[in-house]
Amino acid sequence: MLFNSLIFWSFLPGFLLLYFATKGTARLWVCLAGSYLFYGWWDWRFLGLIILLTGFNYWCGLKISAVESGSLERKRYVGLSVVCSLVILGFFKYFNFFIDSFAGISGALGFGFNSGTMSIILPVGISFYTFQTMSYTIDLYRKQVEVERSLLKFSVFVGFFPQLVAGPIVRARDFMPQLQTDRVVEWEDIRRGTNLILWGFVLKVLMADNLAVTVDRAFQDPTAVSGLYLLIGVVFYAFQIYGDFAGYSLIAIGLARIMGFHFNVNFNRPYLATSFSDFWQRWHISLSSWLRDYLYIPLGGNRQGATRTKINLMLTMLLGGLWHGAAWTFVAWGALHGTYLILQRVLADSASRLLSVSLCRFLGWVSVFSGVLLAWVFFRAQNFGEAFLIIEKIVTLDGFEPSTILRKFFFLKGALLIVAVFGFEWLSTRIDFDALARRYGVLNYLYIVSVLLLLSLFGMFEGGAFIYFQF
Amino acid sequence: MKFSTLRRLFASFVILVVLLFSADRFGSYALDLVVKQSGFRFSELYAGGNSAEIVILGNSRAVNAFYAPDLEKKLGRSVFHLGYNGMSTELCEAIIFDYLDHNKKPSLIILEVTNLGVSNDLIKDIKLYAGLSTRLRSLIQREDPQLNRACAFTHLYRYNSELFLRTLFYTGKSDQAWINSGNIDPDFAINFVPSEEEQSQNLYPITGSNWKALQRLVVKCAAEGIELRLVASPYLPAFRNNLALYDSWVDTFHASLPEADLFYDYTQSLTDSEYFADTLHINRKGSRALLDAMIQDGVFNSESL
């Protein structure tokens, strides 16, 4: 089910009714059944995969907690959990990618290798729930979380529908304690949750899906459009993917909040970042913090000298790129971000010595935004040829005339929506709208009515899937 | 959930429903006034009082092929262009029948007829005018009941349309003076080979509902004493030459429509790339050349004009 589909909004009231009508174990069963129904609606056969991963990691968790810390057996069980999760993820997501890449390399070296690719369907959300289960067993091994002895609670932790298919990746240490007691839902949870959901829909249905019209046209055949239109397409894509993914996260966090669960924010106005490390503290926070805690820091982080730090940064970003999809363009996207982070480490000190703080911040913002745009070209393009063609046409100012802008009404609408949404987000860094709405209830009504009317007037209700479902 | 929270939730829900309903109905009423004031073609249609002698219909190929100010200048007759991007023959029928209901009967209707294979997707946009037309409402009801229900539930949703933005743009001014002044890249024009999808997207297959609509249109025009001309405007030669099924399409057309002499085929009349904006559409220069050819062929010779 998609959050922006009629079927989801038919499912949700019935689910919430049952959720609030029950308590204790019954409520957890409602949660689990609802979550499996939500996921199974897409393809019930892949429920088996979630159940398998849940059961296996639950068993590993019990085993890890049963043996003494520091013992080899404890290491074996956590290793088994991580390896099995990665093997499953690797098979469904990367099997064809590695086979094709191997065939390409062996072909280039003169060895014939006939790669018969298998038709493997990528289960929705597999990257998210495998990372979630891995974090549980690793945290358990590190004694940062208590073992969960209830299979039902552990199953809800893995399969909880609001964040099951596209995150945020919730850590066991944050979520598990909340499953131990019945959540008491206060008025504030409903108010805040509703507001988050509505803003999520603004980002997705109002902004991202409208921008998609221009973006799809630009990337559909870059040879047929001008450099100016491609530049617009790239800029719009930056905001489309933000709206799409941040929108999903907000809806997920809002739904969880209505049910009484508190999840951390996943996006914090990333395009206002003034350095690349700042960007990664604002963009897909649950993934970047996961990569930091379970990859970058175990690799040595910044504790083993400058060169090793740079290698660790690059490795983390390369794997972060590969996490998004089985294609070299995603690896290139990660490599670019890794390079940015390394360059920032090299240049930041000199820049801060030579330039004033405000100029430094401004130049930082400009370079972060431009660098992120460049990286999005590789993220969105089908292949390297297409990415380089887009960059070439933009850099050489090919056809930079306003008359080359196609579907001008969608361009104008998109541009206005970006200004409006980001104007509001920028304002919200100066004015605490939530505190105002909490204090003056009428403002909250005004917000809800305005958002719903805007959605009705300008939203795209074609049921466009969320971009991050493919990851 | 505490009882007090539940009570507050219920009260808030009721307040929101009342507020939303009022805002939706009031807002749509206000926007309706804006739409009616616009100089956009369909707003003018439903405002009524138009007395054009020649009316033009069709999809984007008609929009690009016929430039109303040029026609008026050359022919000395008043012209009203009702064509719009993506308009199927069935939608043309609904629009022209509505036009006849609200405006003075024209003497001649020109229908760019290569839209016989076009779907009715434009209803998603033209729903803007559904409140003013029972024909459009019934077409939407038949084609997309969910869309119809959405429009009934929230009236503001009707204004969720590219056409609404166009009505705003054309507030206080006419939209009739628009023509494509772009020019296709000559090298691209020579080397262009249409894909199968490109070959099929405009002509084939002729949908049954479009064909029936055309037949009803022919009968209606005859009954009203309006002369009807069915015109196929030029394609880029590289595109037209690769339309393998085009001849059989014309044969079907002639065989099925008794009034085949209504049909004028200009698909191969322009050969130079300077006349084209892209593979499917001619530009300002092309439209002038087409107009000259049509005048020469007597397309506009009419007993009643």
With a cut of 80, say whether residue B259 has pLDDT above it.
Answer: no
Check if the beta carbon of residue A165 is closer than 8 Å to that of residue A128.
yes
The answer to whether B154 contacts chain A (CB < 8 Å) is: yes
- Per the CB < 8 Å rule, is B160 touching A458? yes
If one counts every other C-beta atom within 10 angstroms of the C-beta of residue B258, the result is: 10
Q: B157 CA to chain A: closest CA distance, Å? A: 5
Check if the beta carbon of residue A166 is closer than 8 Å to that of residue A252.
yes
CA B184 to chain centre: 23
By Cβ distance, the residue of B1, B12, B19 closest to A185 is: B1
A352 vs A360: CA distance, rounded Å: 7
What does the pLDDT average to over A344-373?
88
The count of C-alpha atoms lying within 13 angstroms of the C-alpha of A377, restricted to the half-sphere facing its C-beta, is 23
- Of the residues A186, A194, A457, the best mutation for testing chain B's interface (the one with the most B CB atoms within 10 Å of its CB) is A457
What is the token pair recorded at B194? 């249409």
- Per the CB < 8 Å rule, is B16 touching A449? yes
Q: Is B29 exposed, middle or buried (0-12, 13-18, 19+ CB in 10 A)?
A: exposed
Give B115-174 pLDDT, tens digit per residue.
888 889 999 999 999 989 999 999 999 999 989 998 989 999 999 998 999 999 999 899
Reported ipTM exceeds the 0.90 cut: no
Check if the beta carbon of residue A77 is closer than 8 Å to that of residue A64.
yes
What is the token pair recorded at A252? 């997920």
Chain A residues 375-434 with CB within 8 Å of chain B: 403, 409-410, 412-413
| A-chain residues near B27 (CB < 8 A) | 453
Give A178-226 pLDDT, tens digit per residue.
999 888 899 999 999 999 999 999 999 999 999 999 999 999 988 888 8
By Cβ distance, the residue of B2, B4, B159 closest to A457 is: B159
B20 vs A200: CA distance, rounded Å: 19
Residue B229 β-bridge partners: B110
pLDDT at B258: 66
| A-chain residues near B8 (CB < 8 A) | 187
Work out the pLDDT band at B303, boundaries 50, 70, 90: low
Give A252-287 pLDDT, tens digit per residue.
999 999 999 999 999 999 999 999 999 999 999 999
- More confidently predicted of A70 and A150: A150
What's the sign of the alpha-carbon dihedral A438, A439, A442, A447?
negative
If one counts every other C-beta atom within 10 angstroms of the C-beta of residue A427, the result is: 10
- Per the CB < 8 Å rule, is A452 touching B20? yes
The answer to whether B166 contacts chain A (CB < 8 Å) is: yes
- Cis status of the peptide bond prior to B258, with omega within 30 of 0: no
- Per the CB < 8 Å rule, is A449 touching B154? no
| A-chain residues near B146 (CB < 8 A) | 6
What does the pLDDT average to over A243-253?
94
Q: Is A196 exposed, middle or buried (0-12, 13-18, 19+ CB in 10 A)?
A: buried
Residue B276 β-bridge partners: B282
A364 vs A351: CA distance, rounded Å: 10
Listed in sequence order, the residues at least 6 apart from B147 whose beta carbon sits closer than 8 Å to its beta carbon are B123, B124, B127, B140
Q: B133 CA to chain A: closest CA distance, Å? A: 20
- Per the CB < 8 Å rule, is A6 touching B20? no
The answer to whether A459 contacts chain B (CB < 8 Å) is: yes
| A-chain residues near B20 (CB < 8 A) | 449, 452-453
Query: Residue B258 — φ and ψ, nearest 5°?
Result: -60, -35
Alpha-carbon separation of residue B188 from A82, A277, A360, B279 (angstroms): 54, 45, 46, 9
- Per the CB < 8 Å rule, is A412 touching B165? yes
Alpha-carbon separation of residue A90 from A34, A79, A96 (angstroms): 28, 16, 10
CA A226 to chain centre: 31
The answer to whether A20 contacts chain B (CB < 8 Å) is: yes
With a cut of 60, say whether residue A115 has pLDDT above it.
Answer: no
Task: Order the strands of the B227-232 sheet from edge to edge.
Answer: B79-81, B54-57, B108-112, B227-232, B263-265
Give B47-76 pLDDT, tens digit per residue.
999 999 999 999 999 999 999 999 999 999
With a cut of 80, say whether residue A112 has pLDDT above it.
Answer: no
What is the token pair recorded at B96? 């022209």
Residue B263 β-bridge partners: B230
Check if the beta carbon of residue B145 is closer than 8 Å to that of residue B183.
no
pLDDT at A118: 59
- Per the CB < 8 Å rule, is B162 touching A20? no
Domains of chain B: 49-120+173-296 (3.40.50.1110)
- Per the CB < 8 Å rule, is A445 touching B20? no
What is the token pair recorded at B35? 């739409």
The answer to whether B18 contacts chain A (CB < 8 Å) is: no
A289-298, A337-346, A404-413: least confident range: A404-413
**What's chain A's average pLDDT?**
89
B292 vs B266: CA distance, rounded Å: 12
Report how many Cβ contacts below 8 Å link chain A to chain B.
51
Give the active site residues of A. 324
With a cut of 90, say whether residue A167 has pLDDT above it.
Answer: no
Nearest to B227 by CA among B300, B118, B143, B136: B300
A318 vs A330: CA distance, rounded Å: 8
| A-chain residues near B5 (CB < 8 A) | 185-187, 190
B8 vs B14: CA distance, rounded Å: 10
- More confidently predicted of A110 and A221: A221
- More confidently predicted of A405 and B154: B154
The answer to whether B262 contacts chain A (CB < 8 Å) is: no
pLDDT at B185: 83
User: In chain A, which residue's Cα lies nearest the Cα of B25?
Assistant: A453
With a cut of 90, say whether residue B2 has pLDDT above it.
Answer: no
pLDDT at B203: 56
pLDDT at B287: 95
B178 vs A405: CA distance, rounded Å: 16
With a cut of 90, say whether residue A53 has pLDDT above it.
Answer: yes
Work out the pLDDT band at B243, boundaries 50, 70, 90: confident
- For A399-446, list the strands marked E by DSSP: none
With a cut of 60, say whether residue B201 has pLDDT above it.
Answer: no
Most confident of A99-108, A401-410, B49-58, B183-192: B49-58
Residue length, chain B? 305
Check if the beta carbon of residue B112 is closer than 8 Å to that of residue B62.
yes
Check if the beta carbon of residue B233 is closer than 8 Å to that of residue B112.
yes
User: In chain B, which residue's Cα lies nearest the Cα of A21?
Assistant: B1
| Global pTM value | 0.85
